Structure formats: structure tokens, C-alpha cells
Amino acid sequence: MSTFLPETILNWLPDAIQLFYLVATGFFIRGVKLLNSPGTARKGNQFAAIGMLIGVLVTLFDQDIVEFELIVGGIVIGGLIGLLLAKKVQMTAMPELVAVFNGFGGAASALVAWGELARNPDILSFDTTGLVSIGLSVFIGALTFTGSFIAFGKLSGFISGNAITFPGLNVINIGAMIATLGLIGYFAYDPSNPTLFWVILGISLLIGVTSVIPIGGADMPVVISLLNSYSGIAAAMAGFVLQNNLLIVSGALVGAAGLILTNIMCKAMNRSLLNVIFGSFGAAAGGPGASGNGDKTVRETSAEDLAIQVAYASKVVIVPGYGLAVAQAQHIVKEVATKLESRGVQVKYGIHPVAGRMPGHMNVLLAEADVPYDLLKDMDEINPEFATTDVVLIIGANDVVNPLAKTDPTGPIYGMPILNVDEAKRTIVFKRSLSVGYAGIDNPLFYAEKNQMFFGDAKKSLQALNEALNEV
């Protein structure tokens, strides 16, 4: 406990600290609750940030800390890095940034466990619970660290988005996980050999690589959500190591929220978590139209023709995908929508849960362009409306609108709930080419009679449409 405070304050300080921890926990819970809606998500982040500030300040009085210079230095350096990232990182790179944050969260938990072990030279002074907590914190934190950076590499493109695997890799991964848990148990039983700690760390780092590298790019939204959960669980384990109630609660909240979101993402893909981890798609897939359009023909449209179609429509639904993010076309989409609304056209946005490269990617992207939250409709809300929609503008989306999910039992996405855009009177697909999506299969929607293709960069195509609307 800090010794520079008067004795009277020191007497009631432990109870006051726990009270403030309870207050911080309340802010965390309220923040998580507000995150369930795009309209309140920003306020939720603010509540959580206040809770974290309270937790950090109070913890400084809960530990025997003498080197405040290092703490202040860390705050300054970390704050500057955070400010730089907030200003410089594009919205299109947000999935990669989230992956990095998950990785650093896992690394921090592992370092806390190692630090606690290092500052107590008598390792035999730890009880069994403490040693198990240290082992689990290192195990989960280390694999989260390396796994997150593999995910970062796949999202950034310097590691192939395809599933990189070989026969027996899943068996090796499962065996390595079981072996690591066994080593943690033995470490807790007989901690006299410190080399065992480093063996656990090394295997955990390797598991992070080998468990994420075989997962294809199409599954990255689920992987990011799962790794986020791992980082929370690792933090909770670090809380047990430090015997810090706030860290335990906050880590458990992040872990639980991540698992719930992971489950939602899996349901949106009609797949189990085990299937995502051990049976991912994203490599060269087979099935009908896997890699080409054969002798099929498409119907193309122009900016002028499309402007007439949407200007005289009653209802237009915009379906964004990762192509919208790559083209950074969210602002021009908002301009087009505003012009249509000024003409009395009803405009809504259909958001699939796994559109983009992380959970909520499209919501964040469109929120940046000041698209009203009430116009962002999730899959269950918008699907019943497609039958009464005149035109659907599909901008950079592919697998989430692929009818093969409903018609091809042999395909990798069969059974995945999709946006039923094929029920609309007309669909327009903005795309650079007829290339396949991350699932590696062709999309028969491209060749449907009710569909027209608008080839080119999404941003330039939308700019052309925006200009053409001035002439209608």
C-alpha cells in the first residue's frame, strides 16, 4: 500500500478503493449496454472510458508503486501513439487496427503475469491458484498476441487471405492446446523448474500462429471477435494473478461480450464456432461457378440510365460491402442518398452481420459519413422489405447477397442467411469485375435478368451517378 499518505487515510483506503472499483464496474456495464445500438455506441464508449480512467487512477493507490516516472512515461507515450492512430488510420484499416489492439491486450496480460512472477524471486510463495492463473494468463495472452497479428497480416494482405494448412494441422493444434494445459497443471504442482514457464510461453505463441493461419479471409470477422474475447479472458486471468477485482470483472465483461458477438456472427454464417476454427472456407473453393462465369452474360448499366431508375423509384435500398470500404466511397454514397431523399425517394441501408472485415464494420463506416442510425437496418429488419423495393444498390458486397446460399447444398456458404436482394424489382451491383468473393464461388445474381452490373471503382461510379442525378 502507498506509504506517502497519512495513517488515517490509509486505514479507510482499502474500502474506498473497492467502492471506486464498484463504481468503475457500473460504468463498464452501462457502456457495454449502450454498445448494442449504433445510435448509443459512442456514448457507450465514453462511459467505458470513464470507468477505465477511474480504475487506473484508483489502482495507483492500490499497489505499492514507487516508480511513477515509468507510469507517467507510459501514459504519455501510449497517449501520443493513440492520438496518432486516431488521426491517421483510415476507416478502411479499422479491422486491422482492432486486430492489433486485441494482440496488444493479450500481450499486456501475459506480461503482467510474467512481471508478477519475476518480482517475486521465491516462486514457491505462490499458491496453486496463483500459479494456475499465471499459466492461463500467459497461455491465452500469448496465443491472442500472435493470433491477432496473423489476422492483421491476412487483413492487410501481406499474408494470404486463403486458408493455409496441411493435413493433420488441426490435430496438432488441439494436441498442443491440451499439452499446454497439462504443462500449466504441472507448473502449478511443481513450480521449482522456471524453465517450464518459458516452454508454456513458447508453445502458446506458436499455437496463436498455427490456429489462425489455416482460417480463411472470409472468416476474419468471426476470428477478430473471438480474439477480442480471448484478450478479455486473458485480462481476467491477469486480474486473478494481481488479485484485482476490477481487472477480473472488466476482463470477464470483454470475454463474455466477445463470445456473445462471436456466436451472433456464427449464426449469421449458419456455422458453428468449431467449423469456423477447424473447417474454414476462404481457399480456392469448388462448386458451381467456382472461378469463372463460363459463357454466361451480364447486363451492364451506365450512370445516366441508373440515375433515371433510382430518381423515379419509390424505395431504394443500399447494401454496402467491403468494396465500399476499399474505395472509401461512404461519403459519396451519403450524397447520392441525400439527393434521392430530396426527390421523395425512401432510402434505407441493409447491413449484413458479416459484411466487411470486422463486426460492425459497415455501421462504423456509414456513421463516419453521418448516415442517420435509424436508416441502418440489420438483416432481419430489411429482408422483409426487399419484395417492395424498386432498386437495390449493392456496393462491393458479394457473398452476403449470393443466392447459392439458398440453392446449392454442395456450396461452402449453403445455409448462410443472406440479404434477399434477389426479391427486389431491380438490383444493381457495383463491382470492379466478375471476380469471386472470399468464399471463392461465383455469384449467379450477376447474371440474373433483374440485375445490372455497374463496373468500375465504386467511388468513381457513385460520383458519376451523383452527377447524372443533377440532369434528371
User: pLDDT tens digits, residue range 103-114?
Assistant: 999 999 999 999
Specify the pLDDT at position 318.
96
Confidence of residue 1 (pLDDT cuts 50, 70, 90): very low
Task: Give the range among 71-85, 161-175, 289-303, 419-433 with minimum mean pLDDT.
Answer: 289-303
Sign of CA dihedral 418, 422, 426, 430: positive
Tell me the mean pLDDT in the region 165-193: 88
Query: Which one has a higher pLDDT value, 268 or 79?
Result: 79
- Tracing cell 448516415 back to the chain, one arrives at 371
Specify the pLDDT at position 2.
47
- Tracing cell 466477445 back to the chain, one arrives at 258
Q: Report the 10 Å Cβ neighbour count for 33.
A: 12
Tell me the mean pLDDT in the region 358-371: 84
pLDDT per position as a tens digit, 401-414? 999 888 888 877 78
Query: Which CATH code is given to the segment(s) 303-469?
Result: 3.40.50.1220
pTM, full prediction: 0.78
CA distance 442 to 432: 14
Active-site choice (15, 64, 127, 399):
399
CB-based contact 458:323 (threshold 8 Å): yes
Q: Which residues pair with 351 in a beta bridge?
A: 378
CA distance 455 to 93: 24
pLDDT per position as a tens digit, 414-445? 888 899 999 999 999 999 888 877 667 889 99
Among 31-45, 79-93, 200-214, name the most confident range.
200-214
Average pLDDT, the chain: 85
pLDDT per position as a tens digit, 208-221? 999 888 887 667 77
Confidence of residue 284 (pLDDT cuts 50, 70, 90): very low
How does DSSP assign 66-92, residue by residue?
Answer: --HHHHHHHHHHHHHHHHHHHHH--GG
CA distance 351 to 59: 41
Confidence of residue 66 (pLDDT cuts 50, 70, 90): low
Confidence of residue 86 (pLDDT cuts 50, 70, 90): confident
Q: Which residues pair with 392 in a beta bridge?
A: 317, 427
CA distance 472 to 460: 19
Query: Which one has a higher pLDDT value, 367 or 90?
Result: 367
The answer on pLDDT for 289 being more than 60 is: no
CA distance 295 to 459: 29
Tell me the mean pLDDT in the region 444-467: 93
The answer on pLDDT for 149 being more than 50 is: yes
Specify the pLDDT at position 215.
82
Tell me the mean pLDDT in the region 77-86: 86
Confidence of residue 288 (pLDDT cuts 50, 70, 90): very low
Task: Give the range among 29-43, 153-167, 235-249, 445-459 with minimum mean pLDDT.
Answer: 153-167
Specify the pLDDT at position 73.
85
Q: Which residues pair with 452 in a beta bridge?
A: 428
The answer on pLDDT for 395 being more than 90 is: yes
The answer on pLDDT for 80 being more than 70 is: yes
Specify the pLDDT at position 282.
47
CA 356 distance to own-chain centroid:
9
The answer on pLDDT for 315 being more than 60 is: yes
**Cell numbers describing residue 203:** 508453445
CB-based burial label for 79 (10 Å; 0-12, 13-18, 19+): exposed
The answer on pLDDT for 336 being more than 60 is: yes
The answer on pLDDT for 184 being more than 90 is: yes
Q: Is 399 an annotated catalytic residue?
A: yes
Confidence of residue 290 (pLDDT cuts 50, 70, 90): very low
* R_g over Cα of the chain: 25
Tell me the mean pLDDT in the region 25-43: 86
Q: What percent of the chain has pLDDT over 90?
A: 43
Query: Which one has a higher pLDDT value, 316 or 297?
Result: 316
Helix axes 195-212, 169-189, angle to 10 degrees: 160
How is the chain split into domains, by residue range? 1-88, 94-283, 303-469
